[in-house]
Structures are given as C-alpha cells and as structure tokens.
Amino acid sequence: MTKSSKRPTSLFHFWPDRARHWSHPNIKHRHLVFASSVSTHRDYAWLFDLFARFLVTLLLVTDIYPPLLLQLHSWIADWDPFSTSTVQRPAARLARPIAAFPTGVPGLDAMGFGDFDAICRKAALPLCSLVGPKTGFAGTRGILPNCYARSIEVANTIIFQGAAGIIHIMALGMAVVMIIHIRSKFTAVGRKEIITSFYLYMALTVCSLVLDTGVTPPGSAAMPYFAAVQNGLTSAMCTSLLINGFVGFQLYEDGTALSVWLLRFSSLGMGLVSGAISLLTFQGWAGLSPTNTVAMFVVLYVLNALCLAIYVIMQIILVVNTLQDRWPLGHITFGVFFFVAGQVILYVFSDTVCEGVQHYLDGLFFVTFCNLLSVMMIYKYWDSITKEDLEFSVGLKQNNWEVKELLPEEERRATFYVDTNSEYAGSMYHNRSSAHGGHSAY
C-alpha cells in the first residue's frame, strides 16, 4: 500500500460518530451534495476536501443567494486542483447530502441563520412569545422553551421569573452606586460618555424587569412594544460602548458637544433601527413577519456582537500601547469571561440547569447576574484607567486633605505676610514704592 492511499478520503474519517448529523431529517438542502476527496495521490489533498466542505457549509447556513451557492457548490464539486486531467470526476464519487456543519450541540445543528426556534427552545426570552408560527390556540403564536422557571404568587399576583427579578433590582441598585461614583470623578476622561452607557443600562434593566416578571404579560397588546423597546435599548447600549471605545484614543476632545452628542445620536439611531425592525417583525408589517426573523436576528446578535468585540479589542490596544499598568487587562478579561459565561448558560445549558434545580431557576437568572458582573467590570476598568485631578476633585467629604500632624516651628516656610494682631494679614505689597517720584504709594 502506498503512502498516499493511507490518507483519509472523506470528512467522516475524522468524525465517524458525527456522520449522522449530515443526513439529519430536518436538513433543508437535501439535494446539495459534496464531492469526496479531491485526490489521494498528493499529500494534504484531504485538507482541501475539509476546507471545501467547511466553506460551502458555512455559506449554506446563511441561506443567502441560493442560486449563487448552487453554482459555487457545483464548481467546488467538479474542480480538482491536484489533478492534471481535464476530465471531470464521475457522479458516482459524490457523497451524501449536507446542509449544516455539525456543531456537536444537540438542537443547534439544524438551526438556520436567523431562526429563533432553536434559541427559544433553550432560552425563555420575552420575544419568544411573539415569533414563530401560529399555535392554533385562539390565533396566538410563540415558541415555548423546553424548561423555564416556575412562577410565584405574592399578594394574589403571579410573578414570573422571581429570581431573575431580584437580580434586576440588585442591578438597579448597583447601577445607581456606579453612576454616583462616576459623577464624583469630575475631571476624569470620558466621564460624560461612559455615564450615558450606564443610564442606558438602567433603562434596559427596568424594561427587562417589566417583561421578565410578567408586569406586561405575554399576549397583551403592549407586549410587542415593550419587547421592541428592550431590543432597542440593548442595541443602543452596545453602540454606546463602541463609541466609548474611541474616547481613550483622544481622536477628539472628550466631554465636548461633539463627543457627547456623537455618542448620543449614534446610540439613539441604532436603538431606533433595532426597535423598529423588532416591532415590524412582531406585528408583521413592511414585509416582515414573526416567521421571517432574519433582520431582527442580524440586528440583535450579529451587529451587537460586532460592537462588543470591537470595543474589547480597542480597549486591549489602548492598555497595551498607552498604559504602563497592565492590571486593566484583568478587568477586561473578567468582563469578557462573565459575559460569555452568561450567554453560554442561557443558549446552551438553560434547560439542563432548569431541570437540575427543579424549575426554580433557569438560564435567564444566570445571564442577568453575569451581565451585571460584566457591567461592573466595565466600570472597574474605566475607573482604573482614569485619574482624578486633586485640584479640581469633587468628593463627598468637605475636606479632601487630611492633616496628619503639624510641622515643627523651624520647618515652617517663611511667609510674606507681617504677623500682626489684626484679623487680616498685612499686604505683601506694604513696602512697594510708587512709580512716580519715589514716594510710597500707600
């Protein structure tokens, strides 16, 4: 047996246990097939096979421009870059159909781009009651999660997500404390800009508290509008963090009208776009519908994730290139860790956690708590890279300087003032002569 014949000729040689994902019954593109290995007589030919499969699969998952994807798939299936022959490979060597690159996460392999079905099966998000096909029950629609936290009854009132509601109230208190501390650093760089992000976080927390606890119950007339406001505030906060990432580079003077209103208008514009797309999707207006959620998915997940990623990268560059202290990198690391951990728990392990604690908690509780820790790390990072000018500092105490002990008499500096019994010190110009005639002017 030659050396080249030992090379793997199919992707399933690497993951034989995952081959079942490639012929999943929920796969839409059943007629799209991949070619087998491009060649076995050259070393590393299997690398091209792996790359070709991954590239076409990635494009198929996006579900955009099907004719172009079909043509691209045909080119890749018929092209053998390692072969010297111009004869196309026979159709008998074509492999089985495929529509999605397997992720290994149950329930996510068949999820299409922009589809909220797999997301809402895992996470009990407020918007899940507004998307998806109609259920046939009194004309309602919505996607129910596999497991969600149980409700509690207080004073003849049913409260949803009680544990998550407590975290929301704690987040409001912590936001107030952080805003007070930011306002006390009167001369800190980016003070007005960063405080806008915390105001948006407070507004988002209030809106999430109203939706999660059932103050605006699912199925009510106000539910789509509150859910749209929540999505808009989420996008506005992510955009404000993105603009805050430019402040430290001093591309423009911080605290000026240009800096402040650029952030406010950018956040407002992105919030309006996100909220409008969400509302149009919920209500089925302007060509959008609860079953056509691609636009809302792009705004909520793709653009927001892009804003946060750019903010983190810019802050790392700022610390590495301009600061001697490396401790702020720890704050960034912890912030990213808490945020990612919350997202993973919500979208991957929410139903597992919910069943494990007997429906007392679900992923919404943990993601709310992790988001609070992430925001606290943002504040801690900003506080660590900004310094307060003591000459213009504004504190809660009346005296910012504390006298430890008096200096000895011989170490005191000489004064210009004459020691008199008067309540007011003498003028330091008491020996000054007039410029006219040499006589004293006083």
Q: How far apart are CA 170 and CA 159, in angstroms?
A: 17
CA-CA-CA-CA torsion for 247, 252, 253, 255, nearest 10 degrees?
-50
What string of pLDDT tens digits covers the 442 residues of the chain? 444 444 443 333 333 333 333 334 443 333 333 333 333 334 445 444 555 555 555 444 444 344 444 444 454 445 444 444 433 433 333 333 333 334 344 444 445 677 899 899 999 999 999 998 887 666 678 888 888 898 888 888 888 999 999 999 999 999 999 999 999 988 888 999 999 999 999 999 999 999 999 998 888 899 999 999 999 999 999 999 999 999 988 888 888 999 999 999 999 999 999 999 999 999 999 888 998 899 999 999 999 999 999 999 999 999 999 888 889 999 999 999 999 999 999 999 998 999 999 889 999 999 999 999 999 999 999 999 987 654 444 444 444 445 556 656 655 555 444 444 544 444 444 444 444 444 444 4
* pLDDT (0 to 100) of residue 386: 87
* pLDDT (0 to 100) of residue 80: 46
- Give the CA distances from residue 366 to residues 130, 203, 299, 339, 376, in Å, rounded to whole numbers and listed in that order: 23, 20, 23, 10, 15
Q: Which residues contact 398 (CB under 8 A, 6 or more apart)?
A: none
Beta bridge partners of 295: none
Per the CB < 8 A criterion, the answer to whether 9 and 40 are in contact is yes
Whole-model pTM: value is 0.65
As a whole number of angstroms, the longest Cα–Cα distance in the chain is 119
**402 in the Ramachandran plot: left (φ > 0), alpha (ψ -120 to 50) or beta?**
beta
* pLDDT (0 to 100) of residue 156: 81
* pLDDT (0 to 100) of residue 135: 73
Q: Which residue intervals of the chain bear CATH 1.20.1070?
A: 126-386
Q: Where are the alpha helices (DSSP H) in 218-326?
A: 223-247, 257-283, 294-297, 304-322
Q: How far apart are CA 364 and CA 432, in angstroms?
A: 77
* pLDDT (0 to 100) of residue 187: 83
Q: How far apart are CA 315 and CA 322, in angstroms?
A: 10
Per the CB < 8 A criterion, the answer to whether 189 and 247 are in contact is yes
Q: What is the pLDDT of residues 364-415, one digit of tens each?
A: 999 999 999 999 999 999 999 987 654 444 444 444 445 556 656 655 555 4
What is the DSSP code (8-state) at residue 16?
A: G
Q: Which residues contact 232 (CB under 8 A, 6 or more apart)?
A: 271, 272, 274, 275, 276, 278
Tokens of residue 26, six digits = 């929920």
Phi and psi angles of residue 383, each rounded to the nearest 5 degrees, phi first:
-65, -30
* pLDDT (0 to 100) of residue 174: 96
Length of the chain, please? 442
What is the DSSP code (8-state) at residue 433?
A: B
Tokens of residue 415, six digits = 């004064």
* pLDDT (0 to 100) of residue 54: 52
* pLDDT (0 to 100) of residue 168: 96
* pLDDT (0 to 100) of residue 9: 39
Q: How far apart are CA 151 and CA 284, in angstroms?
A: 30
The angle formed by the CA atoms of residues 166, 154 and 221, to the nearest 5 degrees, is: 80
Q: How far apart are CA 202 and CA 240, in angstroms?
A: 14
Q: What is the pLDDT of residues 162-189, one digit of tens each?
A: 999 999 999 999 999 999 999 998 888 8
Q: How far apart are CA 260 and CA 255, in angstroms?
A: 6
E runs forming strands in 263-371:
none
* pLDDT (0 to 100) of residue 342: 95
Tokens of residue 294, six digits = 């691609």
CATH number, domain 126-386: 1.20.1070
* pLDDT (0 to 100) of residue 167: 95
* pLDDT (0 to 100) of residue 410: 58
